[in-house]
Structure 1
Amino acid sequence: MTDDPADAAGEDDSAADGDLSLDRFHEALEAEERPIATASEVARRLGTTQSAARDALAALVDRGDVDRLDVESDPVVFYPTDWGRLATRERVVAFPNRREIVVDRPTQFTRARLSQFAHLVDTTGTEPGTRGYLYRIRQEDVWAAPFDDADALIGSLRSVLPRRYDHLEEWIRDQWRRAHRFRLYTHEDGYVVLEAASESLMGNVADQHLDDDHLRAPISETEAWVNEEAVAEVKRALYDAGYPVEDDRDLDAGDPVDVDLTTDLRPYQETWVETFLERRSGVYVGPPGSGKTVAAIATIAAVGGETLILVPSRELAGQWREELLDHSTIDPADIGLYHGGQKEIRPITIATYQIAGMDRHRSLFDSRKWGLICFDEAHHISAPVYSRTAELQSKHRLGLSATPVRETGSEEEIYTLIGQPIGADWDELFEAGFVQEPEVEIRYVPWRDELARNEYASADGRERRRLAAENPAKIEEVRYLLAAHRDKKALVFIEFLDQGEAIADALGIPFISGETPHRERAELFRRFREGDGTREEPGSDGDDVDTLVVSRVGDEGIDLPNAEVAIVASGLGGSRRQGSQRAGRTMRPAGSALVYVLATRGSGEEEFAQRQMRHLARKGIRVRETNVAE
């Protein structure tokens, strides 16, 4: 079929007879790729006269199925009265020119198919089974699609769309061809070669986008000898040019490591591991609590070679060691920690990004033949201070991240340096019961007094943001929320240290920041994990810790699975990823989870809160808003 209007709808005798069904009207809207339409547009799409279409639409208006809007200086437009009525069954609407697909009430089959080649952009609605899904087909999604050829990908696309879209299919075929035009391989003499599918590609693409120090010398019209130290830069440059590189190098798998998994994987985790082993690279993407670390340990066991695990902090390094011991048969003597506190190289080595990227340690890591490098909290590698670690090469590259999105939009760089995303739809995990969906509430807190409001009004820049963040009224709001959930473990997140100390002093609870000594920090986290959930009275000397005030050090990589309440008192100027990390601290397989975001009313925090939480709402999490009384 084509995109021609007549082919899309054909002659419609029912419209000519004045009997137009709501479904036929909706089909006309789909063809127009707009939520509204004029009578002439409906007539054109349904192959009838404008007069007949106007009469048929008037009948729909009389029945209450369609509303009309008289727009000044424009024709009358018509739209469905209740779009929700259209979602009593699955409905797939394609917008081929924008490469977008909207699905109301998608079946599990449709969602599974779409996840193979499309990116979930947004969800609407609040209840499972009633949500609408917006997917976008991006070039990187086509490049990473798990198919043997373009025909198989197109077949999967056709299985979910209501009809064929030739222009969209041709664009997908073109992107598929782009993803298979360059490859890296190891020459029989041991050096790395970049091979292009044609002479023109090598001349017009590679030569224009690669620097002189990336390639040592030409080998033929379609091949060039690559500087091994520049492999990561070559892959990044060609990816940016729209040509992802297939990496077929014969990299060393490292010495074998004897390790088996002792934990049963969930079905989606098994799929992650199987997909990774086929590709030899990728990023496990899933919400906190979805078991990315366990899936990574299963991957380590499956690869069976020397492994380097890169993490952002010493705390996370220690947690990784415990997870390996809990979920595998690894000998403790085969695990080494390499950070500011100790430096051990073992068959499985856990190092911090910062140490691994330093020149004086880099040569040591480069000299090892790693079978697998695992980048935990993978979004770190696109930050300048950590990017050198991405140049470490191994036969397998695995990343882990809940939300591999940075405000700079450099998620493509993550996938270039590590691999393409492999993961589950957050909403799918919520509905399946693997991860408990948190309840998120933005609470708009008033200024405590007119003096504080005036001080904010007269400030500007960073000072204004700090004053809104440290609004003294937030201390009483935190006190109120903790009292309302006295039987739950709680984390209070802050951005500014002065506010953290003020909340901790006022409420008599511990405060953890980057200035807290490592040993004291680890002990407080231990007591929090082992607490029974009954909050001690402020100032008591009980051994359990049921509430912590935490600075950015707690935003990621801290495993506190029994946190039941998260209160974000400040930090709303941060990234969408930071908002997801903080909300994610309460995600776990069972039990209710609550996230409160405090924003000073009438300040820039209102917009920041809505932006951060909108990112969560797109993943299917319900977000509500409350105005706190003055």
Structure 2
Amino acid sequence: MTDGPLIVQSDKTLLLEIDHPSSRDARTAIAPFAELERAPEHVHTYRITPLALWNARAAGHDAEQVVDALSTFSRYPVPQPLLIDIVDTMGRFGRLTLQNSPVHGLTMASLDRAVLEEVLRNKKIAPMLGERIDDDTVVVHPSERGRLKQMLLKVGWPAEDFAGYVDGEAHPIKLAEDGWALRDYQRMAADSFWAGGSGVVVLPCGAGKTLVGAAAMAKAEATTLILVTNTVSGRQWKRELIARTSLTEDEIGEYSGERKEIRPVTIATYQVITRKSKGEYRHLELFDSRDWGLVVYDEVHLLPAPVFRMTADLQSRRRLGLTATLVREDGREGDVFSLIGPKRYDVPWRDIEQQGWIAPADCTEVRVTMTENERLKYAVAEAEDRYKLCSTAATKIPVVKQILARHPEEPSLVIGAYLDQLDELGAALDCPVIQGSTKNKEREELFDRFRSGELRTLVVSKVANFSIDLPEATVAIQVSGTFGSRQEEAQRLGRILRPKADGRQAHFYSIVSRDTLDTDYAAHRQRFLAEQGYAYRICDADDLLGPPIPEVG
């Protein structure tokens, strides 16, 4: 027995003692292959899943490294059945491989004939396959490359894809060399992606994922389709590409609700390509409109389900997913793995913070007590109405004012999910509100006024959760969220993580109604940030200016 911070259990759960001096090293060691499930005060619970092990395997980690990490940090001997299961599970990845044969085209080969026989008899997989070439090889219908990988993952035999990629239509793209250079981690992320051919790069908000995309484009030197969350984000991409690469304005097209330009580099919004007309996704034709050499999926954790269908047909194209968190609230992480590609590069947020590339952040949960009238309304409400009632309690408005008064000179964002609540806050704070119906031109004008310092406070809906570049923002106050969304929590903290010119700390407040669903969902939302090493302080709204309750997370 050693004094390690980790307790490894045979049910594949890992208990990490947060106060142990080696807990940070242990968290870093297990992060590639374990997923955080719960993060209360002193002991965090992780779970080892097959998908996490296969992601680790695809990223170059082998079973020996996983076993070594567990053995090094475990307080007690690691259960032998668990070690055997890890070796067996990781060994399933790559027993089947996809390859391109000069004679037969796309083929699936097996290092284990019994595995091939098993999948050949699967009724959903068999129609995707053609003739049997020999005992260990079978032809694959080229159009089924993506769907086959999806199904193989579901039956527990994830294939390693060596079939390669078409170069697509060539187009010269080079990184500009004046006045800036890729950071080391950005270069490593682009190199890791290029070596794998397709996959996902995970970096914190504010760490320059756009520049990783630009570096990948410079490696491909081909026509590129970039998919983004909204028009404002797309225009930020365009500005960055013009500033950081050899691309000119005329070479970059915008494909959105406002414009339909298809150029060598085309930036399209998820919203427009998933818009239906007479029951059909008309704009999905964009994927076939050019011989794309690279497809970039910004904020891949938000990739709409209909796009997965087209992504399955794009398997011969290089695909880069960019995200701050691979958490998907719809549970489709497996589809990202099989259709976009495995995780190629990941770095803990705190590591980037220590290097000075993102701002240090202080996270505080402020608990408010609803009025007696609000509590009674909540108590008698229907189950489906309760969360909105406690999230939008008017009791939160004075607390927002109190927090803003603590940071009178700091550029601040007040973020929420319910439009009527945001309108009330805008009126109470006498500041503009940006929501989904706000015209793009007005959004950009308000964001510019915020960047220049003319506006100190903005009230924003979930349209500002992602891909909005507001480097000056120092304070974020979250008044309501999308139930227990971990990805949303990460994105909202990310709004204030851009490094500050004077090295100031960022402050993230989450205002929560005590003794309600609001508290339960807040605990769930905080899981991802706890995994990244952020601790939440909890304080009572009445004692906001006094000492906080001890740390959580």
- 1:487-506 deviation line (CA, Å, top 9, x unaligned): 01111112111111111112
Q: CA deviation at 1:144?
A: 3.8
Counterpart Cα distance in 2 of 1:255 and 1:404 = 30
Residue 621 of structure 1 deviates from its aligned partner by 0.7
Pair 1:324 & 2:246 matched: no
1:202 and 2:116 matched: yes
Task: State whether structure 2 residue 479 is matched by structure 1 residue 569.
Answer: yes
Tell me by how many angstroms 1:461 deviates.
Answer: 2.4
SS class of match (2:122)? helix
Which of 183, 189, 194 matches 1:266?
183
Rounded to whole Å, the distance in 1 between the matches of 2:372 and 2:472 is: 39
Q: Which one of 222, 246, 251 corresponds to residue 305 of structure 1? A: 222
1:334 equivalenced with 2:251 (yes/no): yes
Q: CA deviation at 1:222?
A: 3.7
CA distance in 1, matches of 2:537, 2:15: 27
RMSD of the TM alignment (CA)?
A: 3.1
- Give the gaps of 5 or more residues in structure 2: 276-280, 544-553
Instruction: Specify the alignment match of 1:440 in structure 2.
Output: 363
Is 1:390 the counterpart of 2:311? The answer is: yes
2: CA distance, partners of 1:580 / 1:315:
20
Paired residue type of 1:410: R
- 1:606 and 2:519 are equivalent in the alignment: yes
The question of whether the paired residues in 2 share the 8 Å contact of 1:307 and 1:374 is answered with yes
Secondary structure in 1 matching 2:399: helix
Q: Distance in 2 between matches of 1:332 and 1:593?
A: 34
Instruction: Give the residue type in structure 1 aligned to 2:229.
Output: P
C-alpha distance in 2, partners of 1:289/1:433?
11
The C-alpha deviation readout for 1:339-396, integer Å capped at 9, x for no partner, is 2111222222111223335643333422533222111110123x43433342233442
Greater relative contact order structure (CA < 8 Å, 6+ sep): 2
In structure 1, the partner of 2:491 is 581
Distance 2:392 2:38 in 1: 33
Q: CA deviation at 1:409?
A: 3.1
| 8 Å contact kept, 1:374–1:399 | yes
User: 239-248 or 133-142: which moved more?
Assistant: 133-142
In 1, distance between residues paired with 2:102 and 2:30? 40
Match of 2:159 among 234, 242, 245: 245
Q: Which moved more, 1:221-230 or 1:335-344?
A: 221-230
Structure 2 SS opposite 1:594 = strand
* 1:76-91 map, 5 Å: 91=4
SS of the equivalent of 2:422 reads helix
Change (3 A) 1:209 1:299: farther
Query: Match for 2:487: what amino acid?
Result: R
More deviation in 182-191 or 367-376? 182-191
Q: Does 1:119 align with 2:34?
A: yes
The count of aligned residue pairs is 523
Matches for 1:511-526 after TM superposition, within 5 Å: 511-526=433-448
Q: Alpha carbons of 1:159 and 1:618: their partners in 2 closer, same or farther (altered >3 Å)?
A: closer
Match 2:372 to one of 443, 450, 475 = 450
Taking the TM superposition and a 5 Å limit, the aligned residue runs for 1:223-622 are 223-262=137-176, 263-357=180-274, 359-381=281-303, 383-391=304-312, 392-421=314-343, 422-447=345-370, 449-531=371-453, 544-571=454-481, 573-590=483-500, 591-622=504-535
Structure 1 residues 207 and 326 mapped into 2: Cα distance closer, same or farther (>3 Å)?
A: farther
- Maintained 8 Å contact 1:209/1:238: no
Change (3 A) 1:429 1:123: farther
1:140: which partner in 2? Answer: 51
Secondary structure of the structure 1 residue equivalent to 2:526: helix
The match for 2:547 is none
Q: TM-score when scaled to structure 1?
A: 0.75
Bigger radius of gyration: 1
Q: How far apart in 2 are the matches of 1:157 and 1:430?
A: 29
Aligned residue type for 1:121: L
Letter in 2 for 1:481: I
Residues 94, 161 of structure 1: 8 Å contact kept: no
Q: Distance in 2 between matches of 1:605 and 1:113?
A: 33
Distance 1:307 1:530 in 2: 32
Q: How do residues 173-188 of structure 1 correspond to structure 2 at under 5 angstroms? A: 173-188=87-102
Aligned to 2:549: none
- AA in 1 matched with 2:253: G
Aligned-partner Cα distance in 1 for 2:23–2:483: 37
In structure 2, what is the Cα distance between the partners aligned to 1:563 and 1:290? 15
Distance change in 2, residues 1:331/1:195 (3 Å): same
- 1:149 Cα offset (Å): 8.7
More displaced 10-residue stretch of structure 1: 502-511 or 215-224: 215-224
* % identity of equivalent residues: 32
Residues 1:377 and 1:364: Cα distance change in structure 2 (over 3 Å) = closer
Superposed CA offset, 1:87-115 (max 9, x none): xxxx4656373554858444998777656
